[in-house]
Amino acid sequence: MSSKNGKPKGQSFDLSQAELKQLLKKVPSGIHSYIDHLERQVKNLANIGLSLSKEKDMNVLLENILLEAKRITNADGGTLYMKTDDDRLRFEIMMTDSLNFHMGGTSGQDIPFYPVKLYDDDGKPNKNMISAYVGLTGETVNIPDAYKADGFDFSGTKAFDKKTGYRSQSFLTVPLKNHEDEIIGVVQLLNAKDRKTGESIPFSTEVQDIVEALSSQAAVAITNKNLIRDLEILFESFIKLIASAIDAKSTYTGGHCSRVPVITMMLADAVNESDNEHYKDIHFTEKQMYELKIAAWLHDCGKVVTPEYVVDKATKLETIFDRVHMVANRFEVLKRDQEIKCLKQQLKVEKNTSLSELEVKNALKEIRKKYKEKIKQLDNDLDFVKTTNVGGEFMSGDKKDRVYKIAQYRWNDNGEIKNFLSDDEVKNLCIAKGTLTPEERKIINDHIVYTIDMLNQLPYPNHLKNIPEFAGGHHEKLDGTGYPMGLTIDEMSIQAKAMAIADVFEALTARDRPYKDGKALSVAMRIMGFMKNDAHVDPFLFELFVQEKIYLKYAEEYLTPEQLDMD
């Protein structure tokens, strides 16, 4: 017989609250307790699932899985294995409460046992070992008493019992299978205990079901953590690949890309540990530290588009090659012309019959003297050009005037009489500081614009969203004269300020730049002191840089003994 809505009579569960309460009053108390117990188990599973999803430390995560499985089953002991890439089960955690035994996990004690092979040396599946069997088949194995079980090798267990006086009895071995049904590990529980008597008992089918549910949750949590870890490793490897690309393009910047993060993170650690009043409200979390590290690695990624001839410009006249050799050849042409002129003058004097022998002798002597003086002058001019070509911290006005004077020499270039130096050569030789012209320096400076543009195109997770700002701000100055945005002290983050100090200090002390030697520690710190006074670097961070001797800790590892002239 059916009801009006088509459902069989007596099968409707649309009860009111009052009817439900009346119905529950008729249920025996034992069933109430059982329902309460199931509710608690479901709630516990939900809580452990939430806990597993939040835990970041893999050792803690694995240990929590084993502890929860032991709690559910009231087991005396347990072992958690993880499957390796070479088809083995690696011991991760072992514990037995009654023996006060705890290895692996958070114990700090390594497990000395070899991993369990899933396949024998002949390639056959190792189904004699219970953990290997479960790791191969994905089937749960519940053994009430190991001493009465058939089909598995418990010789090792019995030997352990004989040695310790322990009695291994019930075993519950459950696979860890993730959402793709892949077996990633095995949980093995030992000796379920009666909650009233404390005696060892078999694992019930009820607790087996719950442990299997827990294992499924745990496997998904482990897989997610491994995926996140693998993605982070891939992300960091890609970042370092960019630095390697810059290194391959120019050996003068690759070291910089890897050393700036070292100094940056040392300074960030100092901020976290400082009790200075200025930093009392500042503490970088683990995520913020990671974000800063990634930004430091990427701070010069825009240099991948900077032309090599500018990045590697070791001398003022260098383009694809150093044009000083062309200038040196011109000097040889001038010296050749002087020699020809000298010989012609000598020949003319010798043919002059109106001159006495003494007059000829004196005239030839004067010609040779002037020739030698001219050659000496040309040699000195060449040495001056070569020295000037190297570049330095400052070029005085009188040296620039000498360049202009040399430029006005005339020389014969395959029949065409030209000024000795071209306008571009004069411009480069008169660079006041370093080896770059203003146009080339702009090209170099534009790398930070490219860095910001490149980094702004990446889809960051929330905890990495500030990377473009941190990486893009390391050439800003507190007084607003930096680039590319001209930020002031209040507009710069502390992370960008820290990176700016790291960038400058590394550049000053670097030993692999083509245009200069690494400065001694005392000189670098004096220059940075001037920069602090000129509001180019943050005074509070620089003070911390000095007080905590970060400069020295870095120098002892990365600078040469000759550079270490202060402590």
Is residue 240, in this structure, part of any structural domain at all?
no
Is residue 140, in this structure, part of any structural domain at all?
yes
d(CA 524, CA 514): 18
Residues 65 and 170 in one domain: yes
**What is the average pLDDT value for the chain, to the nearest integer?**
88
Instruction: Please report the pLDDT score of residue 397 as a whole number.
Output: 92
d(CA 365, CA 345): 11
Alpha helices by DSSP H, 352-396: 357-390
d(CA 57, CA 459): 26
Alpha helices by DSSP H, 85-204: 130-137, 155-164
d(CA 66, CA 96): 11
Q: What is the total count of domains within the chain?
A: 3
The helix or strand, by DSSP H or E, that contains position 191, with its residue range, turns out to be: strand 183-193
Residues 46 and 121 in one domain: yes
pTM: 0.68
Q: Is the pLDDT of residue 33 over 80?
A: no
Neighbours of 451 (CB within 10 A): 24
The position carrying tokens 């930093």 is 279
Q: Is the pLDDT of residue 7 over 50?
A: no
Is residue 449, in this structure, part of any structural domain at all?
yes
Neighbours of 544 (CB within 10 A): 21
pLDDT in tens, 256-267: 888 999 999 999
pLDDT band per the 50, 70, 90 thresholds, residue 17:
low
Instruction: Please report the pLDDT score of residue 9 as a whole number.
Output: 45
Identify the residue with better confidence: 246 or 482: 482
Q: DSSP assignment, residue 98?
A: G
Q: DSSP assignment, residue 8?
A: B
pLDDT in tens, 77-121: 999 999 999 999 999 999 999 999 999 999 989 999 999 999 999
Is residue 210, in this structure, part of any structural domain at all?
yes
pLDDT band per the 50, 70, 90 thresholds, residue 43:
low
Instruction: Please report the pLDDT score of residue 184 as a whole number.
Output: 95
Residues 393 and 299 in one domain: no
Residues 174 and 285 in one domain: no
User: 227, 260, 286 — which closes off a domain?
Assistant: 227
Residues 258 and 299 in one domain: yes
Residues 172 and 76 in one domain: yes
Q: Is the pLDDT of residue 132 over 60?
A: yes
d(CA 228, CA 56): 10
The position carrying tokens 């040392």 is 266
pLDDT in tens, 18-29: 665 565 565 565
Residues 103 and 206 in one domain: yes
Residues 300 and 162 in one domain: no
The CA radius of gyration of the chain, in Å to the nearest whole number, is 40
Instruction: Please report the pLDDT score of residue 313 as a whole number.
Output: 84
Instruction: Please report the pLDDT score of residue 14 as a whole number.
Output: 60
Instruction: Please report the pLDDT score of residue 22 as a whole number.
Output: 65
d(CA 66, CA 73): 11
User: 435, 453, 481 — which closes off a domain?
Assistant: 435
Instruction: Please report the pLDDT score of residue 16 as a whole number.
Output: 66
Is residue 220, in this structure, part of any structural domain at all?
yes
pLDDT in tens, 278-308: 888 899 999 999 999 999 999 988 888 888 7
User: 192, 227, 262 — which closes off a domain?
Assistant: 227
Instruction: Please report the pLDDT score of residue 11 as a whole number.
Output: 47
Neighbours of 517 (CB within 10 A): 12
Residues 421 and 548 in one domain: no
Cα angle for residues 159, 162, 166 (degrees, 5° grid): 110
Is residue 239, in this structure, part of any structural domain at all?
no
d(CA 497, CA 505): 13
Cα angle for residues 124, 128, 131 (degrees, 5° grid): 100
Could you tell me which residues come within 8 angstroms of residue 335 by beta carbon, excluding any fewer than 6 positions away?
375, 378
Instruction: Please report the pLDDT score of residue 2 as a whole number.
Output: 38
175, 58 Cβ separation under 8 angstroms: no
State the residue range of the domain holding 510.
250-311+440-563
Residues 206 and 342 in one domain: no
Identify the residue with better confidence: 436 or 15: 436
Instruction: Please report the pLDDT score of residue 394 as a whole number.
Output: 83
Instruction: Please report the pLDDT score of residue 309 as a whole number.
Output: 80
Residues 464 and 518 in one domain: yes
Residues 415 and 461 in one domain: no
Is residue 232, in this structure, part of any structural domain at all?
no
d(CA 214, CA 385): 78
Token readout for 477 is 């100055």
Could you tell me which residues come within 8 angstroms of residue 488 by beta carbon, excluding any fewer than 6 positions away?
478, 479, 480
Token readout for 413 is 């270039």
Phi, psi of 10 (to 5 degrees): 85, 0
Lowest mean pLDDT, pick from 8-17, 364-373, 433-442, 530-539: 8-17
Indicate which CATH number applies to the domain containing 491.
1.10.3210.10
Indicate which CATH number applies to the domain containing 102.
3.30.450.40
Is residue 271, in this structure, part of any structural domain at all?
yes
pLDDT band per the 50, 70, 90 thresholds, residue 60:
confident
Instruction: Please report the pLDDT score of residue 514 as a whole number.
Output: 58
